[in-house]
Amino acid sequence: SQQGEEDPQALSIQEGENATMNCSYKTSINNLQWYRQNSGRGLVHLILIRSNEREKHSGRLRVTLDTSKKSSSLLITASRAADTASYFCATDSQGGKLIFGQGTELSVKP
């Protein structure tokens, strides 16, 4: 079963623009993580935000978390063609496993 729902399902932008992806979830969480997946490959961890954190940065990535709304967003600034991939949020609510959302497919056109 999937806990997270991502929005939009697909996003197409030009290089240099910012990309924002949103994730909503249903139950209380310990932390929320974002992953990236290139076609035919495994997922790569991008960033983890704990339930007591509201914002976190890593390079061109900015993640926010609103536990009252059970939602998170991932912002990629100054996007590059190499950022083209699928992006997934995943929630840790029971301390054992991660539950992934459906993903956002990002296409960055040069």
Q: Which of 21, 99, 106, 108 binds other proteins (CB under 8 A)?
A: 99
Closest CA to 76 of 88, 59, 90, 92: 59
**Least separation in angstroms between CB 36 and other proteins:** 11
Cα–Cα distance for residue pair 22/103, rounded to 1 Å: 10
**Least separation in angstroms between CB 16 and other proteins:** 28
Q: Which of 21, 43, 76, 85 binds other proteins (CB under 8 A)?
A: 43
Binding site for other proteins (CB under 8 A): 1-2, 4, 30-31, 33, 35, 40-45, 48, 88, 92, 94-103
